[in-house]
Amino acid sequence: MVATQLLSPIGAAGLTSDLDLSTSELRALLNLAAEVKRAPRDFRRDLESKSAALLFEKPSLRTRLTFELAVQQLGGSVVTVEGPIGQREPLQDVARNLGRWVDIIVARTFAQSTVDGLAHWSRIPVVNALSDRYHPCQALADMQTLAEHFGSFENRTLAFVGDGNNVAHSLMLCAARLGLNFRIATPQGYEPDAEIVAQARQFASASGSGIFLSHDPAEAVTGANAIYTDVWASMGQESEAAQRRRIFRPYQVNDELFSLAPDALFMHCLPAKRGEEVTDEVMESPRSIAFDQAENRLHAQKALLLMLLAA
């Protein structure tokens, strides 16, 4: 059974965005994720009699499998539904039906409004497994991965190169609260949301870290401890793919850019489009920890489920 001192219960609304976690809850979750990873058998019955519904509007490999396995390995049961949410019947009806049957909803959606709507109408916790605005579960796994490699976030810098998207938003918010410096380089017009940047800067002021925005990838990555990138066109942006490839080409993480931070780790949330945002050489570099991140999706999400359901 899970030790009570490891638990810091999250509010009943669940995790609709990174902002649903306080700094102390974020730290507690990362500590619990490390313990779950170290001794998974100690937690194998903690969600006995609990059930989860996974709603997936977008295809998934890592998110679906790691959430399904997380619930199962904690002793719970899981059902997965693929397809549009709120199309065949109103979203509020979907949320209230699920609230009568399961203990938690995990939703991977196109729009943040869908996640927020589920949380509004549901009487059970809702977890954002990806939306157009946030990707909090990815950021939790990424912070766990960096903690494993760095030990401490103090005086460390994470550089993000590419689109100021949902992953960048979640990374920025988590880094700022944990005292990890965050730099981001994007093309003009693809900057992260100004409201999220302002919130992150408030967090960074409290933690002693810094948030730095640039349009120059070399400026962002020079001397960084980790360099992160993501696909240039996400699901739902297929019509922009050709234009984005032209605009983002100077932001490719290749050997030349990677050499500006000779000790830096390389990070990617996957799937990677090799030859676009990252070269094969960088992906296969000994400094690449992309698959450590993927592994830690399982452990970080177990910790999240325990904090939502086992306390």
Q: Which residues are catalytic?
A: 108, 135, 138, 230, 269, 297
Task: Give me the torsion for CA of 227, 130, 81, 68, rounded to 10°.
Answer: 50
Angle CA(273)–CA(277)–CA(278) in degrees, nearest 5?
80
The helix or strand, by DSSP H or E, that contains position 148, with its residue range, turns out to be helix 136-150
Partnered with residue 77 across adjacent β-strands are: 51
The span from the CA of 226 to the CA of 150, in Å, is 10
Q: Which of 44, 138, 67, 56 is nearest to 305 (CA)?
A: 67
Packing angle of the helix pair 23-38, 194-207 (nearest 10 deg): 80
How far is CA 187 from each of CA 69, 228, 247, 248, rounded to the nearest angstrom?
A: 38, 15, 7, 7
Q: Is the bond into 271 cis (omega within 30 degrees of 0)?
A: yes
Tokens linked to 198: 């302002």
The span from the CA of 233 to the CA of 180, in Å, is 27
Question: What are the φ and ψ backbone dihedral angles of 62, each rounded to 5 degrees?
Answer: -65, -50
